[in-house]
Amino acid sequence: MEVIVIGAGIAGSVIARELAERGKKEVLVIEKRKHIGGNCYDTYDEHGILVHQYGPHIFHTSKERVQEYLSRFTEWYSFRHEVVARVGGQLIPVPFNLNTLHIVFPKEADQIEQMLIMEYGEGARVPILTLQKNENPLIRKVASYVYENIFLKYTMKQWGQTPKEIDPAVTARVPVVISRDNGYFSDKYQGMPKHGYTKMFEQMLDHENIKVDLGVDAREHLRLEKGKIYFDGKLFEGDVIYTGAIDEFFDYQYGALPYRSLEFSFEYFEQPDFQGHSVVNYTVDEDYTRITEFKHLTGQQSEGTTIVKEYPRSYEQGKGLLPYYAINNEKNADLYEKYRQHAKEAEHFYLLGRLAEYKYYNIDGMAERALQLADQLI
């Protein structure tokens, strides 16, 4: 082996392919799950509906290099993602925009719309902090509606926080969009791999220089000692790219890095449609934060439909849930830094990915970072 890649998610798969294509003859990918794709993995459920096992993943990017790169391994089912929130029995577009305004404040909407356009210009994304400071009580009313009904309880559920614990800087940035466009993302490219993510990953890893070992935990084979890498007890002098959890790799010796987790509840209905939308956010009531109906994301035609409800949970290592979202604060950054310094002792050991870097990435950001690391290594 010339290179060992730990993890077959987007980070591991992109870098493995890239290094193989750029001349590395033997690239070994070790993946502890029984499948490739990491958290992007999708599969057909027992009713024949393509579902995302680790939560719904919608691809969106404005990065030309990433779009071009991934398009080598898949065609796209292209669609524009829109999200609605269920508030008081109504479905309203989010982020809050001019269409939402007309649903929520039908009587005053025309007047408020004119004021917003005059004040901030069409197309602007105005943080609610700015609206809260506006002298006009009608504009302030919009800001408090958004804070109460779209932001506050949703954020409390998502992060398990009390209102006091919510970072005011985050609240301040919640936008109102002065536009009639219900699009959730503004990226140039949006959609889903036409035949699913797993197929895209299969294509990516299908290269004569790549070998994939599934169901193997790298920690049973790999260790770092005094700045050297050992694989099955033998000194390994090639590059190792590690995309798993960094605290786990070092046996939590400095303490566990905190994460937020999710629990998913899948339900199947023998009816062609459940909610008429791909994603409905529950921003005020219910314990779950959103319901996703997969066929509206993938364009699949079928008589039945599968949905998934997402319940935010706190994460505790070894209790069955998975680490999903890094919790960014100074204390956790300091803890992560200890692990990073430790990993740096071995010259050819590279940390890549949301768990190894303790950082949230979208799929496109992750792919870009993997391509950049390949540039650096070759």
Quote the distance between the C-alpha of residue 157 and its chain's center: 17
178/290 with CB nearer ligand FAD: 290
User: Distance between CA atoms of 252 and 241, rounded to whole angstroms?
Assistant: 19
132/261 with CB nearer ligand FAD: 261
- Residue 220 has which token pair? 């049973």
Choose, by CB under 6 A, the member of 18, 31, 42, 247 that binds ligand FAD: 31
Choose, by CB under 6 A, the member of 4, 5, 11, 351 that binds ligand FAD: 11
Choose, by CB under 6 A, the member of 38, 193, 196, 258 that binds ligand FAD: 38
HEC letters along the chain: CCEEEECCCHHHHHHHHHHHHCCCCCEEEEECCCCCCHHHCEEECCCCCEEECCCCCCEEECCHHHHHHHCCCCCEEECCCEEEEEECCEEEEECCEHHHHHHHCCCCHHHHHHHHHHHHCCCCEEEHHHHHCCCCHHHHHHHHHHHHHHHHHHHHHHHCCCHHHCCHHHHHHCEEECCCCCECCCCCEEEEECCCHHHHHHHHHCCCCEEEEECCCHHHCEEEECCEEEECCEEECCEEEECCCHHHHCCCCCCCCCEEEEEEEEEEECCCCCCCCCEEECCCCCCCCEEEEHHHHHCCCCCCEEEEEEEEEECCCCCCCCCCEECCCHHHHHHHHHHHHHHHCCCCEEECCCCCCCCCCCHHHHHHHHHHHHHHHC
Q: Are strands 239-242 and 259-269 parallel, antiparallel or unpaired?
A: unpaired
90/360 with CB nearer ligand FAD: 360
CA dihedral sign, ordered 177, 178, 183, 188:
negative
- What is the smallest separation between the CB atom of 243 and ligand FAD, expressed in angstroms? 5
- Per-residue binder mask for ligand FAD (CB under 6 A), 136-175, x = binder: ----------------------------------------
- Per-residue binder mask for ligand FAD (CB under 6 A), 39-58, x = binder: xx--------------x-xx
- What is the smallest separation between the CB atom of 263 and ligand FAD, expressed in angstroms? 11
Is 218 among the residues that bind ligand FAD (CB under 6 A)?
Answer: yes
User: Distance between CA atoms of 267 and 187, rounded to whole angstroms?
Assistant: 31
Is 94 among the residues that bind ligand FAD (CB under 6 A)?
Answer: no
Choose, by CB under 6 A, the member of 50, 339, 361, 371 that binds ligand FAD: 361
Q: Which of residues 224-263 bind ligand FAD (CB under 6 A)?
A: 243-244, 262
Is 324 among the residues that bind ligand FAD (CB under 6 A)?
Answer: yes
Which residue stretch of 35-43, 100-108, 228-236, 250-258 sits at the interface with ligand FAD (rule: CB under 6 A)?
A: 35-43
Place of tokens 């009713």: 47
- What is the smallest separation between the CB atom of 352 and ligand FAD, expressed in angstroms? 7
- What is the smallest separation between the CB atom of 231 and ligand FAD, expressed in angstroms? 13
Which residue stretch of 6-14, 85-93, 136-144, 192-200 sits at the interface with ligand FAD (rule: CB under 6 A)?
A: 6-14
- Per-residue binder mask for ligand FAD (CB under 6 A), 97-116, x = binder: --------------------
Please, which residues bridge with residue 127 across strands?
175
58/131 with CB nearer ligand FAD: 58
Cα dist from 1 to 24, 240, 370, whole Å: 9, 10, 20
Q: How many residues bind ligand FAD (CB under 6 A)?
A: 33
| Amino acid present at 153 | K
- What is the smallest separation between the CB atom of 133 and ligand FAD, expressed in angstroms? 33
Is 32 among the residues that bind ligand FAD (CB under 6 A)?
Answer: yes
Which residue stretch of 72-80, 118-126, 268-276, 351-359 sits at the interface with ligand FAD (rule: CB under 6 A)?
A: 351-359
Is 183 among the residues that bind ligand FAD (CB under 6 A)?
Answer: no
- What is the smallest separation between the CB atom of 223 and ligand FAD, expressed in angstroms? 12
Choose, by CB under 6 A, the member of 259, 354, 371, 373 that binds ligand FAD: 354
Using CB under 6 A, list all residues that contact ligand FAD: 6-12, 30-33, 38-40, 55, 57-59, 217-219, 243-244, 262, 324, 353-355, 361-364, 366
